Amino acid sequence: MGKYIFITGGVVSSLGKGVVSASLGFLLRASGVGVTFLKFDPYLNRDAGTMNPYQHGEVFVTEDGAETDLDLGHYERFADVVLGKPNNVTTGQIYGTVLDRERRGDYGGATVQVIPHVVDAIKEAIVAAGTPGADLTLVELGGTIGDIEGMPFIEAIRQFILENGKDEAVLLHLALLPGLPAGGKELKTKPAQHSVQKLRECGLQMDFLLCRSEVPMPDEARRKLALHTNVKPERVIEVPDVRLIYNVPEHLHRQGLDRLLCERLKLPRRPPDLTPWRNFAAAVASPKRIRIAIVGKYAGMADCYKSVGEALLHAAAARGRGLEFSWLDAEELELGDARARLDGHDGLVVPGGFGVRGAEGKMRAIRWAREGKIPFLGLCYGLQCAVVEFARAACAAPAAASAEWDEGDRFSPDDCWITLLDNQGRATPRGGTLRLGSQPCRLAPGSRALAAYGTGLISERHRHRYEVNPEKVPALERNGLIVSGRHPDNGLVEIVELPGDQWFVATQAHPEFKSRPLRPHPLFLSFLAAAAAGPPG
């Protein structure tokens, strides 16, 4: 069955449990331990697919089409693993499972209760997250200790550790050590102590205490916390603020956390070689930077496009360069001088999204890149905006639009260069299901996309409903837009690009989800190479 590390948090939310979990996964995998992950999200939503990105950050899509918490992106990137539907479980999914069983009569007429039925379903999910070849499952519980919605999960963890034995599971607790300005930033340990006390009230004794703070933790604070929380001083681990999240694994390794965990769980390990990771982190921090504009409708919160930003960092670091981001609100570009906001950038990215809001601003940005021969990368919705912008500019179709923007029959069917299609690529007034997860794509010979990927048949993750209208493809190609990638089965447009020496590529997929720090995605590598070189001519 493998062994388990449970990670909980206290005092405040958003302490960085996801990055800590991902960092541990990286360190343990580098030590020869096979790892996988499970994120418990205690909200009642079935998944993250319908949640506001400003509240929840980006929706990370797995190979099998699960719409998940963004922490799964951290797990996949840091530990270089592939996760799926069993690796992100919500309260909504747990209650859905329990209620389905009750309706089928699986409980034999028993009164269905949180204990044992809900808790048992949570324990089943813990076991189900394990994968072949994984010696260890890291289980992160979202939220903070004491949250009412998290209590069934805490009880399930307590029972799971009791039933499987302490040699099979470790509990890590991450708590905040605040520093009050009036006290000269002296770190206060009392909130962490109370958080651990709450954990004990739930029947759990942690094995390691991780302390998040703005500054390094003094030895006196470490000794006090060890005494009052009943752990050894060497198991009180500091997690101070760092400039880059990619510095966290090195920081935890210096304190011996990966070694201590393996000793505690009796897992064989080898000393990890962190040199490639250190070189990558150093390159990300390089003062020699490439300036990239990212134009989106959620530009006020970078976590809404977390994987896009990370994929760009990975590719830039591979060239020994850092990045300077400009997160530009698409709606603001509709109102002012878009060119003034965009000039001076080395490249443009228009990421995914839904709805009409900000679409005109995105197209103004795309026109700036197309006319100025600035390297451009369109992702999902970015491809759709690029197609409409090209249709308006080059295909004598000034009213070109997407059916997604039609709020009250403003467009005739002939205006819709982006439309709803079913799964066979046929036009339909209602559309098919959301296209989710891994989809194949065949690349055209001689295309820039083929040069970037280096292989003619690729697979990328998708999350969208609207497609390029097949009836409009001949006009697009006639006027100079190259369809360089198509779905091999239904012919749907997957990638478009402009001919010549300008780097202008847009994909219907989300390649950012497959980028890794030490294995940057080839499309982002090609884009950053063009951005670093500057406009052609």
C-alpha dist (Å) from residue 457 to 84, 444, 450, 508:
23, 10, 9, 15
Q: What is the dihedral of CA 418, 420, 426, 428, to 10 degrees?
A: -130
Residue 254, judged by CB atoms within 10 A of its CB (0-12, 13-18, 19+), counts as exposed
Q: Residues 103, 107, 113, 114: what is their CA dihedral angle, to the nearest 10 degrees?
A: -100
Ramachandran angles phi, psi of 90, nearest 5°: -110, 165
C-alpha distances (whole Å) from 452 to each of 445, 458, 528 are 12, 11, 11
Give the number of residues written for the chain: 537
Distance in angstroms (rounded) separating the CA atoms of residues 169 and 393: 61
Please give the positions annotated as active site: 380, 510, 512
Q: Tell me which residue of 54, 17, 255 sits closest to 140, measured CA to CA.
A: 17
- Residues in CB range of 105: below 8 A, 6 or more apart: none
How many whole angstroms separate alpha carbon 448 and alpha carbon 25? Answer: 36
State which amino acid sits at residue 103.
Answer: R
Tokens of 90: 């919500």
Contact indicator for 316, 291 with CB cutoff of 8 Å:
no
Query: Alpha helix locations (H) across 408-521?
Result: 448-453, 473-478
